[in-house]
Amino acid sequence: MPEGTGSATGIGASVKRKEDFRFLTGRGTYTDDINRPGQTYAYILRSPHASADIVKIDSAKAAKAPGVVAILTGADYDKGGLPCGWQIHSKDGSPMIEPPHFPLCKDKVRHVGDQVALIIAETYAQARDAAELIDVSYKETKPIVSLADADKPGAAQVWPEAKNNTCFDWHIGDKAAVDAAFAKAAHVTKIDIVNQRLIPNAMEPRAAIGDFDRATGEFTLYTTSQNPHVIRLLMGAFVLQIPESKLRVVAPDVGGGFGSKIFHYAEEALVTWAAGKVERPVKWTSDRSEAFLTDAHGRDQINHAELAMDKDGKFLALRVNTKANMGAYLSTFAPCVPTYLSATLLAGVYSTPAIYAEVKAIFTNTAVVDAYRGAGRPETTYLLERLVEKAARETGIDRVEIRRKNFIPVDAFPYQTPVALQYDSGDYFSTLDMALKTADWAGIDKRKADSKAKGKLRGIGISTYLEACGIAPSAVVGSLGARAGLYETGQIRVHPTGSVTVFTGTHSHGQGHETTFAQLVSDGLGIPIENVEVSHGDTNKIPFGMGTYGSRSLAVGGSAIVKAMDKIITKSKRIAAHLMEASVADVEFKNGVFTVVGTDKSVPFGTVALTAYVPHNYPITELEPGLEETAFYDPLNFTFPGGCHICEVEVDPDTGTVEVLKFTAVDDIGRVINPMIAEGQIHGGVAQGIGQALLEAAAYDEESGQLLTGSYMDYTMPRADNIPNITVGNHVTLCTHNPLGAKGVGEVGAIGSPPAVINAVLDALLPLGVKDITMPASPHRVWQAIQTAKKAAE
Amino acid sequence: MPTVTMTVNGKAVTGEVEGRTLLVHFLRDKLHLTGTHVGCDTAQCGACTVHLNGKAIKSCNMLALQAEGAEITTIEGLAQNGTLHPMQEAFRDNHGLQCGFCTPGMVMAAVSLVKGKSNLSDDEIRHGLDGNICRCTGYHNIVKAVKAGAQAMGGK
């Protein structure tokens, strides 16, 4: 892949987004904006209980309500359950417990919001009114909500087959080596962490429309998905048994995902199944209250970690014990989040020689938990960076120095960690130095004094992190339990008059693929960016695709496009050689023009395209007409972005309010195609990280299992006045194994930032003797921590 | 069913609505103006922000019937003759949008916020937009965009 042509619309240029005009003028087409002829509306009656037997459902009265087309319950549902895409084996070799997950509950509800009945009517209001008339008799049973208590003897059981509510009990690393290192350690630092449950809250609530074509027997599902082909595969093959050839899945404009729209949800299967039953389109749109109850939640781990050090503060070994909440069912990728996306990252940016981690996955009577921006990597980063910070405080080693002392050296790449991953490239010293300088780390004492003069407490916090993304090499993830490959496809269709459509199996729901990928192709083929259209999100248009998550779109999807482009250029050279009566070996392609080396002969790309489709003068015996190529790209390894985040806060000791004054993010995301878009991704990720650190938490009532944070009145979303201006820097080391050198940018902001914020808060509170705080560091919690520390000091 | 008459994006419209129909649903479902979005059910997120008689309001928070006789502008009515409004242009220039879902409400709120004020501070913009939630941008570029848009509008 060339470095880029340096054109104003090519690689490295902050091209304004092609997609913005439609979004800014209200012309975006999100799923709820779509209406099909003859459409009906679905409302889902949901469980008001966290755990109950369904004794009886009486829908006779509701069935006669105005406009009702059909009422369907678990007894009517005769298809399959929602599958889990990743299988983990426990320490003892036994496979994880995989309970059935039917889209409509059959005899028991297992969390508040579980699907009990599907009401289909002529209007949404009629469906909702009719739902009020359904009489469901429940026999309530005691729920288990607390992750800490769920595996203790005597806890209520979510599934009889999952003893002590344990889905699996997994481990990784060399326990004996870790134990030996701890035995000779000069110092051991220990920490207990609650990585709280979050609710992703993409601004577009989920929606789905099922459509059935009576003439052809084809189903179409319009859905708010990050990966329409995956939904087609899971829903078609496992749930509804519809062959791919009879099932089209369209994910049109999607209003944010952050992971929550990866998974195959019950409602997608229900509207598709119901459309076949009533032979009319069926539309379901979640309201925000439903979204809070039923979207897959994120994080929700409890960690205990211990770090062994020698007398100089060199890390000798790390030992981690994690409990991860799965919720009531296994969502599509849930089991891999606390294991292969979390525990394998425990080396972080450090050359810790021995690591051992145990992870227990636990069922509770709560909404499912699955990947949310960063997925497992924020949890690990938070644990590591809190632990390292604490180690520095305990040993008296400067907190920057302890990090530098333990960084993986620049010349150690490729670096094999003790927990499976092999990092290809990185330079943690440079990102650290850049961040320290940008954030004026050295000048903090003066600023602390200024704050103190105002009666405020200022603190600065740091996080040096790494993540694994560009998900993922199929053979590797297959050996680790993935039930799918994780390659990506790219297809390039050069049209007769030289314009180009790029089909990608990734999906853009804010990431700007229509611009970034157009830049790639415009640069690569030397054609104006206006001539390149990027198409995504429709299984009838795109050959195949695994979608967008795990910061994979550029590193994996972009690489597939580059591979397809290489094929286009190879074929074009043969056509050009024919036109110029030259040997293919002598043909060069640059800036959209084919030339014969050492001559003035040239043919522009457009002429080659036209010749391919109007092959009057064409090497027809050697070459097929047409100019369209597809590539499947399977990455050779994960990619490893990393960097340094620094946060500066001011705490009001009287109220406990934390104000984020400055945030600096210096990241190594590999090659950048569009710096404007890449920076925007980091801003957004950091805001979500600040949200986790200071504002957001999902809370269930431990007795009843009711969601206490079920609206924007209770769940604190970051608003404009909670987030500071964010300074973004970039230090590039290229990924060594993909053709772009790209590493990925979607998640780094959310991964690196939470510990930087909390370390800053703890730095501010250090003079008061506060040593620990649990996320979110809300004014209430901070104030309480201050009071507790004051009392202890008395 | 009662009828309601109002002016939407300069055009007089009349429609039958149920008493309980919210203004946002009238705009989306009856007038097919789907640029106005519904992001919550508690009047918190601001995705449904439109102008009612020149002022930003949350169209999920009033009944269609309450807008009888009103002048409504939605995101579809902001660009004139295919030319983006300066605030729309500023959002594009400053990458003030990602997924686009909160964008119509954010732009309508911003236009109303900066009316008569061409030089707002970052703080004023951040506080002025606290009725609109964006999950993608981290607000950094939205603030930049609103500042630039306000300047381009020149206090108008």
Distance of alpha carbon A547 from alpha carbon A611, whole angstroms: 34
Output the six-digit token pair for A580: 């110029």
A557-576 tens-digit pLDDT: 999 999 999 999 999 999 99
Residue A140 has pLDDT above 60, yes or no: yes
Count the Cβ atoms, other than its own, within 10 Å of residue B79: 17
A199-246 tens-digit pLDDT: 999 999 999 999 999 999 999 999 999 999 999 999 999 999 999 999
Instruction: Tell me if B130 and A725 make a contact (CB, 8 A cut-off).
Output: no
- In chain B, which residues have their Cβ closer than 8 Å to the Cβ of A718? 138-139
Instruction: Tell me if A25 and B75 make a contact (CB, 8 A cut-off).
Output: yes
Instruction: Tell me if A24 and B139 make a contact (CB, 8 A cut-off).
Output: no
Distance of alpha carbon A727 from alpha carbon A421, whole angstroms: 30
Residue A417 has pLDDT above 90, yes or no: yes
Output the six-digit token pair for B82: 């295919």
Residue A6 has pLDDT above 70, yes or no: yes
**Which candidate from B34, B104, B130 shows the least CB-CB separation from A720?**
B130
ipTM of the complex: 0.98
Look up the CATH superfamily of B3-76. Answer: Beta-grasp domain (3.10.20.30)
Same fold, B3-76 and B86-153: no
Q: What percent of chain A has pLDDT over 70?
A: 99
Instruction: Tell me if A26 and B122 make a contact (CB, 8 A cut-off).
Output: no
Is the C-alpha dihedral spanning A540, A546, A550, A555 positive or negative? negative
Residue B45 has pLDDT above 90, yes or no: yes
- In chain A, which residues have their Cβ closer than 8 Å to the Cβ of B36? 26
Bridge partners (DSSP) of residue A494 are A500
C-alpha triplet A633, A636, A642: angle, nearest 5°: 110
- In chain B, which residues have their Cβ closer than 8 Å to the Cβ of A713? 42, 44
Strand order in the sheet with A488-494: A532-535, A500-504, A488-494, A628-633
Strand order in the sheet with B49-52: B11-16, B3-8, B71-73, B49-52, B55-58
Q: What is the pLDDT of residue A201?
A: 98
Within 8 A by CB and 6+ apart from A492, the residues are A500, A501, A502, A503, A521, A561, A564, A565, A567, A568, A628, A629, A630
Q: What is the pLDDT of residue A1?
A: 46
Output the six-digit token pair for A540: 């009838």
Kindly report the average pLDDT of chain A as a whole number. Answer: 97
Distance of alpha carbon A279 from alpha carbon A235, whole angstroms: 19
Instruction: State the angle between helix axes of A377-395 and A748-765 in degrees (0 to 180), rounded to the nearest 10.
Output: 30
Q: What is the pLDDT of residue B65?
A: 98
Interface of A with B in 183-222 (CB under 8 A): 201-205
Q: How far is B154 from chain A (nearest CA, A)?
A: 20
**Which candidate from B38, B79, B141 shows the least CB-CB separation from A680?**
B141
Residue A337 has pLDDT above 50, yes or no: yes
**Residue among B101, B120, B141 with most chain A CBs within 10 A, to mutate:** B101
Q: What is the pLDDT of residue B156?
A: 78
Owner of token pair 């690569």: A524
Q: How far is B69 from chain A (nearest CA, A)?
A: 24
Residue B29 has pLDDT above 90, yes or no: yes
**Which candidate from A28, A256, A287 shows the least CB-CB separation from B136?**
A256
Distance of alpha carbon A382 from alpha carbon B17, whole angstroms: 52
Q: How confident is the model at residue A2 (pLDDT cuts 50, 70, 90)?
A: very low
Instruction: Tell me if B135 and A22 make a contact (CB, 8 A cut-off).
Output: no
Kindly report the average pLDDT of chain B as a whole number. Answer: 97
- Decide if B24 contacts B48 (C-beta within 8 A): yes
Distance of alpha carbon A788 from alpha carbon A775, whole angstroms: 17
Interface of A with B in 53-82 (CB under 8 A): none
- The CATH number, out of the four listed (1.10.150.120, 1.10.150.20, 3.30.70.260, 3.40.50.2300), of the domain defined by the range B86-153: 1.10.150.120
DSSP class of residue A17 equals: P
Residue A4 has pLDDT above 80, yes or no: no
B78-115 tens-digit pLDDT: 999 889 999 999 999 999 999 999 999 999 999 999 99
- Decide if A121 contacts A40 (C-beta within 8 A): yes
Q: Classify residue B142 as exposed, middle or buried by CB count within 10 Å of its CB (0-12, 13-18, 19+).
A: buried
Count the Cβ atoms, other than its own, within 10 Å of residue A246: 13
Torsions phi, psi for A658 (to 5 deg) = -110, 125
Instruction: Tell me if B135 and A28 make a contact (CB, 8 A cut-off).
Output: no
Instruction: Tell me if A23 and B93 make a contact (CB, 8 A cut-off).
Output: no
- Decide if A297 contacts A710 (C-beta within 8 A): no
| Domains, in order of start, for chain A | 20-28+487-633 (3.30.365.10), 34-86+96-139+204-255+261-294 (3.90.1170.50), 148-196+299-396 (3.30.365.10)
Please give the average per-residue pLDDT across A407-414, as a whole number. Answer: 98
Please give the average per-residue pLDDT across A535-563, as a whole number. Answer: 97
Instruction: Tell me if A17 and B92 make a contact (CB, 8 A cut-off).
Output: yes
Instruction: Tell me if B37 and A30 make a contact (CB, 8 A cut-off).
Output: yes
**Which candidate from A24, A203, A712 shows the least CB-CB separation from B107?**
A24
**Which candidate from B74, B101, B140 shows the least CB-CB separation from A204?**
B101
What are the DSSP E strand ranges found in A591-712?
A: 593-596, 602-604, 628-633, 642-651, 658-668
Task: For B89, name the nearest residue in chain A, comparing CA atoms only.
Answer: A24
Residue A439 is which amino acid?
A
Q: Pick from B76, B142, B132, B80: which is nearest to A680 by CA?
A: B142
Q: What is the pLDDT of residue B155?
A: 76
Q: What is the pLDDT of residue A3?
A: 58
Instruction: Tell me if A24 and B137 make a contact (CB, 8 A cut-off).
Output: no
C-alpha triplet A469, A470, A476: angle, nearest 5°: 85
Enumerate the domain spans of chain B: 3-76, 86-153
Task: For B88, name the nearest residue in chain A, comparing CA atoms only.
Answer: A24
**Helix %, strand %, coil % for chain A, to 5?**
30, 25, 45
Q: Pick from A79, A36, A43, A85: which is nearest to A236 by CA?
A: A79
Please tell me if residue A710 touches chain B, with a CB cutoff of 8 Å: no
**Residue among A712, A719, A727 with most chain B CBs within 10 A, to mutate:** A719
A365-408 tens-digit pLDDT: 999 999 999 999 999 999 999 999 999 999 999 999 999 999 99
**How do B49-52 and B71-73 pair as beta strands?**
antiparallel
Of A488 and A6, the one with more pLDDT: A488
Q: Pick from B12, A59, B17, A46: which is nearest to B4 by CA?
A: B17
- In chain A, which residues have their Cβ closer than 8 Å to the Cβ of B34? 26, 29-30, 32-33
Number of CB pairs, chain A paired with chain B, less than 8 A apart: 182
